[in-house]
Structure 1
Amino acid sequence: MALDAETLDLLIEATRTFVTERLVPLEAEVAETGVIPPQVREEMQALGLFGLSISPEYGGLGLNMEEEVRIAMELGRTSPAFRSLAGTNIGIGSQAIVLAGTDEQRNAYLPRLASGELIGSFALTEPDAGSDALSLRTSARRDGDHYVLNGTKRFITNAPIAGLFSVMARTGEGRKADAISCFLVEAGTPGLSLGKPDRKMGQAGAQTCDVVFDACRVPASALLGGQEGTGFRTAMRVLDKGRLHISAVCVGMAERLIAESVRYATQRKQFGQPISEFQLVQAMIADSQAEAYAARCMVLDAARKRDRGEPTTMEASCCKLFATEMVGRVADRAVQIHGGSGYVAEYAVERFYRDVRLFRLYEGTSQIQQLVIAREAIKAYAE
């Protein structure tokens, strides 16, 4: 459902103000402590940021893809930890239920996900199953009116604070999509435990850890959609949407990095003049601006295609590949423009340089995106 133009503009402006006036001043604190203050979550709830993609029927805002990526671009202008807090509810933590859940599952979970009362978490990756998702080993064995889950999930975003896990588990044999099912497992279920929080290169405040299932017994009603063998296909559909969202976040972060670079370059003087007057510094700013603009155009174009109901698997992967690689280059140039100051934690670009590295890894690595793009392009041109 698309918002009217005036309402959308108000939402974008409110998000931009919240990011600028509330979140940006908290970046250093969150980086130091690794914790987002509880009141920030409450303020994000009040803005409706947890329910951007969930239908108003369940208490969300029901944004279409173009509207969602425009909000994601605003959220990208600050520490990615803040966006990550709501990101799973907007994307992979809710959309499996939206796409494939039963009426009972949607009614039970979507209103609480949309309000932010419940934090969702998507448990797919394992110690030996990352890009090769079909090799996952976590099993779900039917036992009467229940399933028994066993296995370990790794690097699971928001797991330490999640109330609901969408868990991909093997219900069949072999490397085929219909061997994988999805289960909705609530935190606190006996047999579900968490590992210690991961210590990461960047994105402090975005919490991840292992999720362990040891004879974790869940009712058969926890099976997503009430049907075995649909989990993998649902996960892939969710990832297409998530890749556009992450691409939009990268656009916002690139624009923040460019702003930081220009601000520094116009204030920093060498040889008696601001370094912004040096052509080689201008070249770095120009390259960053051109690439960020290209990524913005790509994301908006792909989002509009998705809203028209057109297939966007290739476009989503193109956006994810280009935008995540782009923001890495922009961050590198930002550090270069700052010189020695860019290597010092006092400046935001040092932190962002580490933060953006993750974008090329999750929601499918750059190499996986290349494989998807090539496969889809060969298919399209062969036809």
Structure 2
Amino acid sequence: MLDNYHSPWLDDDVVPFADSVRRFVTQSLAPLEEQWREQHQADRASWLSAGEMGMILPDVPVEYGGSGGTPAHVAAVVSEMTYAGVTGLGLGISHIVGHYILASGTEAQKQLWLPKIASGEVICAVAMTEPGTGSDLQAIRTRAVKQGDQYVINGSKTFITNGQICDMVAVVAKTDPEGGAKGLSIFLVDTRLPGFRRGKTLDKLGWAAQDTAEMFFDDCTVSADCLLGGIEGKGFITLMNQLPYERMQIAINAAAAMERALALTLDYTKERKVFGQRVLDFQNTRFTLADIKATTLASRTFCDCLIKQWVDGKLDSSQASMGKFWLTERAGEVVDKCLQFFGGYGYMNEYPIGRMWTEMRVTRIYGGANEIQRELVGRSL
């Protein structure tokens, strides 16, 4: 997407996949974005279509319903959706939950959930954040109390992506209130169960096409086989082991967003005239866009380095955290500078650059605030 640059992870296997994803996203998903913005969620038919395309769990083994690919295939999906401006389909959450199950679930849980997630039949959510807890997982108050061969879950969650549309939610709850990090467990909860209740759809600054909601668990009773992995106290380590997966998706989104912002701004400044000449013909425009292009290329090469580490199984938590905080901050800077060239039109929601400006702001918060990422990297020094 940058002149004369080719990402090394786009090999002969990934390129045809990325090309097919690009056509599908551009032709079938992007035209629906306005409708999704109005209803604050994507439609189920698009989830099923994305599943049929192999866009959900592309790096999960075929025997569990995935496409048997690598993280490079995930990178292709995230990049193409971002570049096309498709924000309503929260596939990344299903990728994360799918990998919770793949890495830590029982064989029965893998067989039950993964094929349905990959097909788009089951839409996932992660119920981790609670009012007042933020990034402090050990402060979680939601409880899961064992009663015979069942668990009774009580508590509330907020900022849940796919909250209104999800069929299954991975709920982080305390099974041992005195156990600290070792007292956390994850439960795979069918949202049709009694005691599960969805709250209101939250009114966000951006990402209007994607639903974010509150959730409540009022004596929600689940069978013991809903406990991820079948062993209590493994929730924290599962979350920690899979955080690099989540953060890489955010980092890739940021890199692709910079490329999209640059392309949109180049098109606009070549066409828009001020004082009798194109906006691009002003020296300030060219100098600023030169800086933006250099930042975008540097960000792409850094991101590609991390993707290669990911594909090779060498990506560690510190690297993923660096990618998450550095790339999201560069994306915020780039999109902000690009918006300036659009003048008042850039502040209108009908222009993609304005939407991108609000969307990129939250990437420095979700997936672990960037201050937390710096702390994690600092501990590795």
Give TM-score scaled by structure 2 length: 0.93
Partners of 1:96 and 1:234 within 8 A in 2 = yes
Question: If each structure's helix is expressed as a fraction of its own residues, which one has the higher value?
Answer: 1
Q: Deviations over 1:200-220 (max 9, x none)?
A: 111012111111111111111
SS where residue 304 of structure 1 aligns? helix
SS where residue 161 of structure 1 aligns? coil
Q: Which residue of 2 aligns with 1:253?
A: 257
Partners of 1:80 and 1:203 within 8 A in 2 = no
Change in CA separation of 1:340 and 1:4 when aligned onto 2, cut-off 3 Å: closer
Deviation at 1:317, TM superposition (A): 0.5
Partners of 2:33 and 2:88 within 8 A in 1 = no
Deviation at 1:350, TM superposition (A): 1.3
Counterpart Cα distance in 2 of 1:78 and 1:340:
23
Q: Deviations over 1:20-66 (max 9, x none)?
A: 33333333333334243444333312211122232211111133223
Partners of 1:19 and 1:77 within 8 A in 2 = no
Q: Does 1:66 align with 2:38?
A: no
SS where residue 130 of structure 2 aligns? coil
Counterpart Cα distance in 1 of 2:39 and 2:190:
27
Give the one of 163, 167, 172 matched to 1:168. Answer: 172
> RMSD of aligned C-alpha atoms?
1.8
Q: Deviations over 1:230-259 (max 9, x none)?
A: 001101112111100111111112211111
Aligned-partner residue type, residue 63 of structure 1: G
Q: Which residue of 2 aligns with 1:276?
A: 280
Partners of 1:27 and 1:78 within 8 A in 2 = no
SS where residue 50 of structure 2 aligns? helix
Counterpart Cα distance in 2 of 1:125 and 1:336:
34
Aligned-partner residue type, residue 277 of structure 1: D
Q: Does 1:133 align with 2:137?
A: yes
Change in CA separation of 1:140 and 1:319 when aligned onto 2, cut-off 3 Å: same
Change in CA separation of 1:230 and 1:37 when aligned onto 2, cut-off 3 Å: closer
Q: Which residue of 2 aligns with 1:381?
A: none
Q: Does 1:290 align with 2:294?
A: yes
Deviation at 1:321, TM superposition (A): 0.4
Number of residue pairs the alignment of both structures matches: 373
Q: Does 1:239 align with 2:237?
A: no
Counterpart Cα distance in 2 of 1:132 and 1:221:
27
Change in CA separation of 1:22 and 1:226 when aligned onto 2, cut-off 3 Å: same
Q: Does 1:182 align with 2:173?
A: no
Of residues 23-32 and 222-231 in structure 1, the stretch that sits farther from structure 2 once superposed is 23-32
Give the one of 170, 190, 193 matched to 2:197. Answer: 193
Counterpart Cα distance in 1 of 2:79 and 2:109:
30
Deviation at 1:175, TM superposition (A): 6.4
**Unmatched tracts of structure 1, length 5 or more:** 379-383
Counterpart Cα distance in 1 of 2:203 and 2:188:
27
Counterpart Cα distance in 1 of 2:45 and 2:172:
32
**Unmatched tracts of structure 2, length 5 or more:** 1-8
Counterpart Cα distance in 1 of 2:52 and 2:326:
33
Q: Which residue of 1 aligns with 2:4?
A: none
Q: Which residue of 2 aligns with 1:44?
A: 50
Give the one of 221, 226, 230 matched to 1:226. Answer: 230
Counterpart Cα distance in 2 of 1:356 and 1:175:
36
Counterpart Cα distance in 2 of 1:132 and 1:32:
33
Q: Does 1:17 align with 2:23?
A: yes
Of residues 202-211 and 101-110 in structure 1, the stretch that sits farther from structure 2 once superposed is 202-211
Of residues 230-239 and 36-45 in structure 1, the stretch that sits farther from structure 2 once superposed is 36-45
Q: Which residue of 2 aligns with 1:29?
A: 35
Counterpart Cα distance in 2 of 1:80 and 1:93:
21
Of residues 67-76 and 347-356 in structure 1, the stretch that sits farther from structure 2 once superposed is 67-76
Deviation at 1:83, TM superposition (A): 4.3
Q: Which residue of 2 aligns with 1:216?
A: 220
SS where residue 160 of structure 1 aligns? coil
Change in CA separation of 1:175 and 1:76 when aligned onto 2, cut-off 3 Å: farther
Change in CA separation of 1:311 and 1:268 when aligned onto 2, cut-off 3 Å: closer
Deviation at 1:294, TM superposition (A): 2.0
Deviation at 1:95, TM superposition (A): 1.1
Of residues 280-289 and 324-333 in structure 1, the stretch that sits farther from structure 2 once superposed is 280-289
Aligned-partner residue type, residue 232 of structure 2: E
Deviation at 1:182, TM superposition (A): 0.8
Counterpart Cα distance in 2 of 1:62 and 1:339:
46
- Identity fraction in percent: 34
SS where residue 153 of structure 1 aligns? strand
SS where residue 49 of structure 1 aligns? coil
SS where residue 188 of structure 2 aligns? strand
Counterpart Cα distance in 2 of 1:83 and 1:374:
34
Partners of 1:268 and 1:274 within 8 A in 2 = yes
